[in-house]
């Protein structure tokens, strides 16, 4: 396994494509219904401090918070904030995929993987529409990369796993289970050393804001309301 | 029985649809995987990555099958769930492209032909894929005409709408949530709701609370082209009142308010 350094060319290419795509998105708004009617108004509500409007049981808090910050700090409208934040996640995902392909194969394959990611219409269109899928994709790529390099036992790989947990647990509810399973794979490859338990503790901390909101909405301390019916079925209450 | 149908017919059909969506990327990957497996050249890291990819797909099917929504979701919805795993499969597509690009061929002409084939394939995917996808998104996802008209009417709706202060009790999960203070606006395009900063979603029978579990407060519908003398709109007049007409750039739009919508 030879870690591939990110050549400046790859970074420049991704930044250039993201900038060009954002320009296109500004001229030809592509927003999906979900963004227009949910995420964008929720981001604006978060920025204005109206938290009861900003959070909703159907959606994890991460997208609202990140897009809300883009509304609050640079002063974008909700739609632009969703598009910019999702495109940023898309661009970061491209770079992580590049590294991942470099670790598994070689730098030549990594460049082609980066190219494929950039030219595939779906992920970029999701980003330009301000959807949350690029965040989930970024989380999965980061976590798989962290699982693969866990034996390097360096601080960077642990930080990568921690970042992946945030993206997986706070952006899409259906990614929480994926994070759990990837956490088990990480633990097995790590041999249940201290870093595994530290990552578990970090995951538990990251889930708490969503648990608190779900408790407020439903009376159950669960990481997503989607699990409530299942909980009621299995445990009762 | 319904669960069995979901599991054995619905899910494979859905997966086939999603696979088709990415066929031009996925097919080379499957071929490379099959060849490397048969030649026993799959490295441990490759095996791990492929196992994780397979696990993702299985887990997503399980999650979508728990609320039996797999069959109900349309291709667009399924693609959003499964498409996020696709980059892991593209690793082998990239491997194929890299191997062809650097194939150890002695004759320069053959080597150039192979490279030209890879470049042409990538260019074709980049151009046609993106152009078609973006054109589809522009024509279906938004409507500049609808947005222009909705921006004209938005202040009026905001001034007109008087409630409710909160949406109460969601019985399946208990508790309260407070996100339906915005008016529910239905129109030909979701852009109408965005201009009002309202919501636009139908009542759902999901197990999680819907954003708008009741009838739209306002309907904002394209009546026809400017200059047209008569308009025919299929609106239930017992439930909705006509409020006003709104001119767009080339079309005329009508605003209808539900009789029970609290207004000023």
Least confident range from A217-231, B9-23, B76-90, B114-128: namely B9-23
Is a pLDDT exceeding 90 seen at residue B160? Answer: no
Q: Is there a domain that residue A2 lies in?
A: no
Nearest to B194 among A36, A56, A57 (CB): A36
Query: A195 φ, ψ to 5°?
Result: -65, -30
What confidence score (pLDDT) does residue B136 get? 65
- ipTM metric: 0.87
Q: What is the pLDDT of residue B144?
A: 61
Does residue A91 belong to any structural domain of this protein? yes
- Give the contacts of B228 (CB within 8 A, at least 6 positions apart): B252
What confidence category does residue B142 fall into, taking pLDDT thresholds of 50, 70 and 90? very low
Closest CB to B90: pick one of A41, A113, A174: A113
Tell me phi and psi for residue B174, to 5 degrees.
75, 175
- pLDDT value for B20: 52
Contact across the interface for B179 and A36, Cβ inside 8 Å: no
Tell me which chain B residues have a C-beta less than 8 angstroms from the C-beta of A61: none
Report the number of distinct structural domains present in chain A: 1
Residue A213 located in a structural domain: yes
A188-197, B17-26, B28-37, B206-215: segment of lowest average pLDDT: B206-215
Residue A30 at interface with chain B, using a CB cutoff of 8 Å: yes
Per-residue pLDDT tens over the stretch B190-233: 666 677 776 655 433 333 444 444 567 888 877 877 777 666 66
Domain extent at residue A200: 8-234
Instruction: Answer whether A126 touches B (CB < 8 Å).
Output: yes
Answer whether residue A3 is part of any domain: no
A137 within a domain of the structure (yes/no): yes
State how far residue B65 is from chain A, nearest Cα, in angstroms: 12
């Amino acid at each position: 396994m030879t870690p591939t350094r990110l050549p400046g060319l790859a970074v420049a290419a991704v930044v250039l494509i993201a900038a060009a795509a954002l320009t296109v998105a500004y001229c030809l708004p592509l927003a999906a219904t979900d963004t227009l009617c949910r995420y964008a108004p929720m981001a604006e509500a978060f920025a204005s401090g109206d938290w009861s409007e900003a959070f909703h049981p159907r959606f994890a808090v991460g997208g609202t918070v990140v897009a809300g910050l883009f509304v609050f700090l640079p002063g974008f409208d909700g739609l632009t904030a969703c598009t910019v934040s999702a495109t940023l996640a898309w661009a970061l995902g491209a770079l992580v995929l590049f590294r991942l392909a470099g670790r598994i194969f070689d730098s030549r394959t990594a460049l082609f993987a980066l190219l494929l990611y950039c030219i595939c219409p779906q992920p970029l269109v999701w980003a330009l529409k301000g959807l949350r899928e690029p965040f989930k994709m970024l989380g999965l790529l980061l976590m798989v990369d962290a699982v693969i390099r866990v034996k390097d036992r360096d601080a960077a790989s642990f930080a990568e796993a921690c970042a992946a947990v945030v993206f997986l647990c706070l952006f899409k509810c259906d990614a929480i289970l994926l994070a759990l399973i990837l956490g088990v794979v990480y633990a097995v490859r790590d041999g249940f050393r201290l870093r595994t338990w530290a990552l578990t503790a970090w995951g538990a901390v990251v889930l708490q804001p969503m648990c608190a909101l779900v408790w407020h909405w439903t009376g159950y301390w669960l990481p997503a309301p989607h699990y409530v019916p299942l909980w009621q079925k299995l445990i009762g209450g | 029985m319904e669960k069995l149908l979901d599991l054995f017919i619905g899910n494979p059909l859905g997966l086939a649809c999603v696979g088709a969506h990415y066929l031009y990327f996925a097919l080379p990957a499957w071929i490379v995987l099959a060849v490397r497996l048969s030649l026993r050249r799959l490295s441990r890291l490759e095996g791990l990555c492929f196992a994780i990819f397979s696990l993702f797909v299985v887990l997503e099917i399980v999650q979508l099958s728990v609320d039996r929504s797999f069959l109900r979701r349309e291709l667009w919805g399924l693609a959003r769930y499964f498409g996020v795993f696709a980059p892991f499969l593209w690793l082998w597509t990239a491997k194929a492209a890299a191997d062809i690009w650097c194939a150890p061929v002695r004759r320069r002409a053959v080597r150039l032909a192979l490279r030209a084939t890879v470049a042409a394939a990538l260019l074709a995917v980049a151009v046609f894929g993106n152009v078609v996808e973006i054109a589809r998104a522009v024509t279906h996802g938004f409507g500049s005409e609808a947005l222009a008209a909705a921006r004209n009417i938005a202040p009026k709706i905001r001034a007109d709408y008087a409630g409710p202060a909160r949406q109460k009790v969601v019985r399946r999960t208990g508790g309260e949530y407070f996100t339906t203070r915005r008016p529910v606006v239905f129109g030909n395009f979701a852009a109408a709701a965005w201009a009002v900063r309202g919501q636009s979603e139908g009542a759902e029978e999901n197990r999680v609370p819907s954003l708008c579990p009741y009838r739209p407060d306002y309907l904002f519908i394209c009546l026809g082209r400017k200059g047209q003398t008569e308009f025919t709109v299929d609106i239930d007049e017992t439930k909705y009142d006509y409020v006003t007409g709104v001119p767009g750039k080339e079309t005329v739009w009508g605003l209808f308010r539900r009789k029970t919508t609290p207004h000023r």
